[in-house]
Structure 1
Amino acid sequence: METKRVYEQIGVAMTSRSLVEYENMFMLETDSYIGKRVLDVAGGASSFTMEARSLGIDAEAVDPLYEKSPSEIAKHGMQEIEVVAAKMAKLTDVYDWTFYGSLENHKAGRIVALQRFVDDFSSEEGKSRYHVGALPHLPFADESFDFVSCSHFLFLYEEQFDYAFHLAAVRELLRVCKHGGEVRLYPLMNFKTVEYSHLSALIDEVEKDGCTVQKKEAKLPFLPNSHQFLSIKK
């Protein structure tokens, strides 16, 4: 029997993703968020915040990475991009390249997103919208944001973080989300490309807290079984 080939990850990776990737991961209709306060959690060196700001969205981001200097993040980001590309080169047949087209395009997009992030993070305005913090304790008041997103962090790392962490993290995302707002999480699978094993239990707990939870279809079918995101309405 052939061994299942999966992406090997030790520690938490730093990511660099673009606005268009967020639109496809979370099925975002960006026009509906203009003038609203939006938070990207654990987005690393993604350009989402900068690009969303350019559209009139009051976007902010939080990540422990932001304690580093712009040059340190740029260096670390380029190293991470090279490591990821090398790993993916051995698994090209495992992924769905419909969105990215090729490994080369995927890598090029990461570099552009990283550069855009570093430019914004280095700016005077950037100091007010990039916050140092980590789940499950975020540095914001209750009900601060209209919309909260978290991608490629929580459920992917099922082997590194236990169920108690995941439940506390989701509740923290909801704490900083306004009543009537929404939290979206993507993807719903771990690095073994199977759905997070405690997802049903987590959904039950969040629904008991009074939230409406739905699995919804995403449009970034890159990783196996990455076709859904979780929508939690508070």
Structure 2
Amino acid sequence: MTARTIKISVLMLLVLFASACSINKLQHSKAKPLENQRSGKITVDRKATGLSGDKVGWGRFSLLAIPVVPVGIHGDESLHIMGSVRAALEAAGYNVDKTSAYSVLNAAHLRVHVTKLRFSNYTPFLPIPIPLVPTWGIAKVELRLEDRDGAAIWQQEVIGRSSNLKFWDGYNAAARGVMNNLVKNMAKAFASDEFYRASLRIKKYSDLKSETVEEKLDQPQKTEEPAVP
């Protein structure tokens, strides 16, 4: 292989990195309903926390896996994450309220904090490009179900992973795979007995408060008689 061929190959790889080291949108492509369906209403935040909008990884080149081009995500990934969270709740059978209001009757509130979101690939040079580019990603989220006072009544970390060997568009494929895996695992967590019992605690608490208020309203009001001179 001549020096000119090597230079052209390297240039082509750099162009590939520059055009492919981005994710169009962080979203799932499917959310299959679970057989074990639950019921009830859950309110959710509009956005997940823990994301700064910075790069989420590096494209790596050569046998030394040298970081070359940063990986970014188009759009607001904090909104994208919550879209997948809502899909997971609905796949588990819950009715999702998107108003993010604690005042919704009989509804627990779900907060989501992203603890890790990373994507990367590895393009070797031996000394010519090979048509297989390992690309992988991982997302870790902390799910926290709260009562109206903001106290945690259920909490769990859920992880989504994916990898592929695509030469082109590997990052978008990895992102879809990560989010599909994350939605699947979140739905299982939401369908668990622990989460369901925690959500029922909010409904029982709300019903108890409602009954207490009704009892007070049904009680005859005492009126003070005017004092006799």
Q: Specify which structure has the higher proportion of helix.
A: 1
TM-score range, shorter chain: under 0.3
- State the TM-score, normalized to the length of structure 2: 0.21
Larger Rg: 2
- State the TM-score, normalized to the length of structure 1: 0.21
